[in-house]
Structure 1
Amino acid sequence: MNFLNTVKAFAANESGAVTVDWVVLTAAIVGLGLAVVTSVSSGVGSVGTQISQALGGVTVNSPGTVGFGGTPATTTP
């Protein structure tokens, strides 16, 4: 009888079914994420290229310079 009770308990256990549900749900979320990345990647690459080109011609002054000509800053005592 002990073996029969063990088999019945195993058949009634539903913890494996919950695991399968979570695996399916996780796979759906990963698939949706890949679909979003695929559809957005080309647009993001294009915007990144445009930003890179726009910032390529910008001159950044170092501290101690005034204006865009690079004239050194002067102070009066």
Structure 2
Amino acid sequence: MSDFKFEIQETLGVLSEKDTGWSKQLTFTQWGENEPKYDIREWGPSFDKMGKGVTFSREELLRLRDLLNDMNL
């Protein structure tokens, strides 16, 4: 498997943490040479390992916010 570059430009918040040190976070991350995107995924304690995640453009994140605000939780 080839290595890929990423740079977490900003950590926006921690959604949850496990006893193992892994945490699910919302970050603003640049993947490779692409434009940075908002990203939700689990990260290892030193950010050298990661789980699968999902990325959002600014417009998608705003739409997700609106959908969540409209939910009757």
Q: Does TM, normalized by the shorter one, top 0.5?
A: no
Ranked by relative contact order (alpha carbons within 8 Å, sequence separation 6 or more), the top structure is 2
TM-score by length of 2: 0.23
Relative to total residues, which structure has the larger strand share, 1 or 2? 2
Between structure 1 and structure 2, the one with the greater Rg is 1
Bigger helix fraction? 1
